[in-house]
Structure 1
Amino acid sequence: MASVVGEGTYGKVYRAREKATGKIVALKKQRLHGDEEGVPPTTLREVSLLKMLSSDPHIVRLLELKQRLNKEGKTVLYLVFEYMDTDLKKYIRSFRSMGSTLPPQTVKRFEASQSANGSEDYDAEDRRPWTESGIHSSTQKILTLWYRAPEILLGATKYSTPVDMWSVGCIFAELITTQALFPGDSELQQLLHIFRLLGTPNEEVWPGVSKLANWHEFPQWNPQDLSRVVPSLDAEGVDLLSKMLQYEPSKRISAKKAMEHPYFDGLNKASL
């Protein structure tokens, strides 16, 4: 018996039990459109990346890929993953429900783990095919809205690893406060949340921003003091967060540089 445990852009995720072994697994049912032939490129990309990163203990393991015919005789794809009882979002919510926040050292370990694994994963991505400019060209419908980088929200179709560091920064702030940093309910609202805190970007702070496809005249806000939204974070942490939330992607801190930041001094990085 399967039960729905989540739903994303490309399909639903079910909790299921394998008949042969009794093992609980997570099934991701891939949505296929009538005009598609073969396996969608989004699925191929996901499977290849998960296989490449399968040795990393911090990344959910893809166990197998199954094909089945539904009642209409159409092929349905299922990605079979190891099942996890919880995730970081639920862990953060557990603290919020108690009216408390995560211990500072726990936040530091989580953040270091994200950056450390990001550094390794980016090394792996360097071995993937890239466009001539050295950056990906792909769909804009990536990443959960609250963690989506501004270049994607503004219509950029070419992007690289800085989009991931933006997401890491958003999660960093959420680990501190247990509240989403930019909780937009639409792409426009998401941009406005970002602009209210970081200031409305312009050509001076982000050359080329006005040429992005979704750019238009937005309300003008001045940048706010970032420390006010993460008041319990020390100065080194605020500095790291600010470097992760730089508007211009090329100026955003890399995963490797983030691991070298003084915020992580004193942390046993080898244990990560």
Structure 2
Amino acid sequence: MDAVEKANADRQKSWIKDRKVGEGAYAVVYQGREASTGRKVAIKKIKVGQFKDGLDMSAIREVKYLRELKHQNVIELLDVFSSKTNLNLVLEFLDSDLEMIIKDRSLVFLPADIKSWMAMTFRGLEFCHRNWILHRDLKPNNLLIASDGQLKIADFGLAREYADPGYKMTCQVITRWYRPPELLFGSRYYSSAVDIWSVGCIFAELMLRIPYLPGESDMDQLKTIFRALGTPTEEDWPGHTKLPDYIPVGQFPKTPLRDLFTAASADTLNLLSKCLIFEPRKRINAKEALFHPYFFALPYPSHPSKLPKCATQVERPLEEVDGNVEIASTAKARNNILKRKLSSPSEKGRSIARRLDFTKQTPGS
């Protein structure tokens, strides 16, 4: 055994796998612990043998970027070791994710709670973008929640560097419901604005407690976006009709965000609207977002330790690149709910948003 093999074997002995908590086509996630201290960890075993050309590019990217990114709102990579035909990533253990919290109907969100989750998301994302890394798959179940309430951005399998603005990138990234219109129209040249659109969708989902723009196909996704935000004109978004996959998808009037988010403050709606601007160059960036008046108005963000938490962790499978956990019928049902809300400003349609009163300060804020 040479020195490299011995070092790898020693690292492998440092970590013990206890139980499987998730599995996808290319990876299995275990809850484990450090042999010497008993500290809980997550061990992501990537099945290298699944790939004809060796190691999957997403695994290489995940290791590369997580080694570079050290921030309290980005998941920490603790170690890497190989075993047989598998590559194992040892990550800090996190109790749940934002999707689980959103779906837990026993939890009540205060406006200050949503503000706290958004602040941590923007902080982690600003750090990624400052280091020229696009995440390209932000969604609630890739925002993990630690036992102390800290939110951490995870799953960098689709991440990539973007320092060269003239370099072509694939448009087949970001889970559909959180994918911006420029990617749906086939843009191969894009920026950190794609991640900001995803954050805007997550922001809306935290208020609605259901996905904001749940399209059933790429074409339906565009219709869902335009139904909610209006069909863009050349004045709104210069040049979008020249994008590679542009196709007219119908004319929809612009609906004020206030019609759906009836309980939100003016600052809330302003920040949300700046995340969901069609013209990518006009979208707010993560650094600007952190200085937005929304974060400095009452109520102030909840301390992470005071945020709502799931009572128990539910096992969930790893998702594919563009796979949604919801089955088609559930996605269709949610889409229909949203369509009704956007087309009919009835009391019933507004009831979910009204649960959050952004105009009143909560006790102890």
In which range does the TM-score fall when normalised by the shorter chain? 0.7 to 0.9
Q: TM-score, normalised by structure 2?
A: 0.63
For residues 1-272 of structure 1, what are the structure 2 equivalents within 5 Å? 2-5=19-22, 7=24, 11-18=26-33, 20=35, 23-30=39-46, 32=48, 33-37=50-54, 39-54=55-70, 56-69=71-84, 75-94=85-104, 97-98=105-106, 101-125=108-132, 130=162, 132=164, 134=165, 137-266=168-297
* Maintained 8 Å contact 1:101/1:177: no
User: 3-state SS of the aligned residue for 2:131?
Assistant: helix
* Maintained 8 Å contact 1:101/1:178: no
How big is the alpha-carbon RMSD for the aligned residues of Structure 1 and Structure 2?
2.7
User: In structure 2, what residue type is equivalent to 1:170?
Assistant: C
When Rg is computed on C-alpha atoms for both structures, the one with the higher figure is 2
Give the C-alpha shift of residue 266 in structure 1: 4.1
User: 3-state SS of the aligned residue for 1:3?
Assistant: strand
Give the C-alpha shift of residue 15 in structure 1: 2.4
User: 3-state SS of the aligned residue for 2:254?
Assistant: coil
Deviates more, 1:56-65 or 1:246-255: 56-65
Give the C-alpha shift of residue 120 in structure 1: 2.5
Higher relative contact order (CA 8 A, sep 6+): 2
User: 3-state SS of the aligned residue for 1:66?
Assistant: strand
Query: How far apart are the structure 2 equivalents of 1:229 and 1:136?
Result: 38
Check 1:135–1:249 CA distance in 2 against 1; reply closer, same or farther (3 A cut). farther
User: In structure 1, what residue type is equivalent to 2:224?
Assistant: H
* Maintained 8 Å contact 2:80/2:90: yes
Check 1:265–1:207 CA distance in 2 against 1; reply closer, same or farther (3 A cut). same
| Offset from partner CA, 1:96-125 (integer Å, 9 cap, x none) | x23x64101111121122223322322111
Identity over aligned residues, as a percent?
35
User: In structure 2, what residue type is equivalent to 1:16?
Assistant: Q
Residue 72 of structure 1 corresponds to: none
* Maintained 8 Å contact 1:162/1:254: yes
Unpaired runs of 5+ in structure 2? Answer: 1-17, 134-159, 305-365
User: 3-state SS of the aligned residue for 2:121?
Assistant: helix
Query: How far apart are the structure 2 equivalents of 1:23 and 1:141?
Result: 37
Give the C-alpha shift of residue 130 in structure 1: 4.0
Query: How far apart are the structure 2 equivalents of 1:211 and 1:29?
Result: 42
Q: TM-score, normalised by structure 1?
A: 0.83
* Maintained 8 Å contact 1:173/1:181: yes
* Maintained 8 Å contact 2:132/2:163: no
Residue 144 of structure 2 corresponds to: none
Check 1:105–1:129 CA distance in 2 against 1; reply closer, same or farther (3 A cut). closer
User: In structure 1, what residue type is equivalent to 2:127?
Assistant: E
Query: How far apart are the structure 2 equivalents of 1:141 and 1:6?
Result: 22
Query: How far apart are the structure 1 equivalents of 2:167 and 2:44?
Result: 25
User: 3-state SS of the aligned residue for 1:143?
Assistant: coil
Query: How far apart are the structure 2 equivalents of 1:6 and 1:253?
Result: 36
Check 1:25–1:228 CA distance in 2 against 1; reply closer, same or farther (3 A cut). same
Query: How far apart are the structure 2 equivalents of 1:230 and 1:136?
Result: 38
* Maintained 8 Å contact 1:13/1:26: no
Query: How far apart are the structure 1 equivalents of 2:123 and 2:72?
Result: 12
Query: How far apart are the structure 1 equivalents of 2:118 and 2:256?
Result: 21
Query: How far apart are the structure 2 equivalents of 1:31 and 1:159?
Result: 31
